[in-house]
Amino acid sequence: MTPRAVRLSGDIAVALPRLAAAALPREACGLMTGRMDGAVLVLDGLAPSRNLAAGEDAFELDAALHLRLQRMTRAVAAVWHSHPCGDAVPSARDAAGAWDPGLVWLITACLETLAWAPAGEGRGFASVPLEIG
């Protein structure tokens, strides 16, 4: 189910551009934990990941991080990454890599973070309103 909106705590919202800047010139990435509250996805945790991608213009999450979060019974609800040289919108590479249509994607570029719901099977993304607070 695609959430009607995504709610992100102010602390995490402030951390995302900082993590993105610290990773330059590479993309930063991580997983986010959360839960549904009615039709709103509430993201309450951020687990930054090492970027295992070979190039600077891509990201690859550490699969061990995902497994650790699952073992801790934390519900992985979103994928986060940055676009150092672009906009906070999904790229064709992002669409091709959206392996789980149940995970919302957050993308940070400069100081802007936007939320996206993957359509699955490389078919692109739909924008989801992002609420901070």
Q: How far, in Å, CA of 49 to CA of 68, rounded?
A: 12
Nearest to 18 by CA among 48, 43, 41: 48
pTM metric for this prediction = 0.93
Asked if 102 contacts 79 with a C-beta cutoff of 8 angstroms, the reply is: no
pLDDT at site 47: 94
16-42 pLDDT, tens digit each: 999 999 999 999 999 999 999 999 999
Q: How far, in Å, CA of 104 to CA of 76, rounded?
A: 10
Here the tokens at position 62 are 């550490």
67-108 pLDDT, tens digit each: 888 788 678 999 999 999 889 999 989 988 887 888 999 999
